[in-house]
Amino acid sequence: MKKTTTILSLCLLLAFFTQVNAQINPTTDSTNRSKVTLSVTIATQGVGLDVKYAPTPQFAIRGGASILPISGGGVYKVRSEPTDVDFDVNFANAHLMFDWHPFLQETGLSRKVVVTAGAGYFWEAKGDVVVSYRGTYKYGDILIPSSDLGQLYGNVEWNKVAPYLGFGFENVFPSKKFNVGFALG
């Protein structure tokens, strides 16, 4: 269980902090740079596609969509007895973001800082879980079989509109067609 939880936590952190960008026409010269880029994103809201339009080097408008359909389950130990957990999570959103590179004239890492504000519209944002205890539950001297315990059902739904404010690091004018950046917000 600890190994599974650790691996799942590391994957979520990696997805949370990673954004992969594929540039349409990247250049290093800001005067000849491409004003439109296409990005593939991997984040906590799923896998998506963004189109970014940068009218000036410091400001950009980004729009896109992401999906995250995950279903699964497993058997875990609770009080050394097997417990079935089945879940179904679905996220699907469209978002509009405004990027600002406040330190573009600087050198080094500060040049890559980006501040982002925007919002997303979730046409699907829900999760369901069913938990079934398969062992014999001991309550004092009383033994209760799993058939008498029943199942635990859980459901969560999020708001349709969600604001976003964050910051991150990215190459403003990448010299390669493949670029990795991250954002936290």
pLDDT bin (cut points 50, 70, 90) of residue 30 is: low
pLDDT mean across residues, the chain: 80
Residue 183, Cβ neighbours under 10 Å: how many?
A: 21
Over residues 141-166, mean pLDDT: 90
pLDDT bin (cut points 50, 70, 90) of residue 34 is: low
Q: Is the separation of the CB atoms in 103 and 111 below 8 Å? A: yes
Domain positions in the chain are 2-184
Give, in order, the Cα–Cα distances in Å from 51 to each of 107, 113, 167.
26, 19, 18
SS3 (DSSP) at 55: coil
Q: What pLDDT digit, counting tens, does each position of 40-49 carry?
A: 888 888 899 9
pLDDT bin (cut points 50, 70, 90) of residue 178 is: low
Alpha-carbon gap, residue 108 to 111, rounded angstroms: 6
Among candidates 129, 98, 135, 128, which has minimal Cα distance to 114?
A: 98
Over residues 143-163, mean pLDDT: 90
Sign of CA dihedral 59, 61, 64, 70: positive
pTM of the model: 0.66
User: Looking at the predicted structure, is the pLDDT value of residue 111 above 70?
Assistant: yes
Among candidates 13, 37, 10, 40, which has minimal Cα distance to 25?
A: 37
**Least trusted range by pLDDT, from 32-36, 92-96, 100-104:** 32-36
Has domain 2-184 been given CATH number 2.40.160? yes
User: Looking at the predicted structure, is the pLDDT value of residue 159 above 80?
Assistant: yes
pLDDT for the residue numbered 24? 42
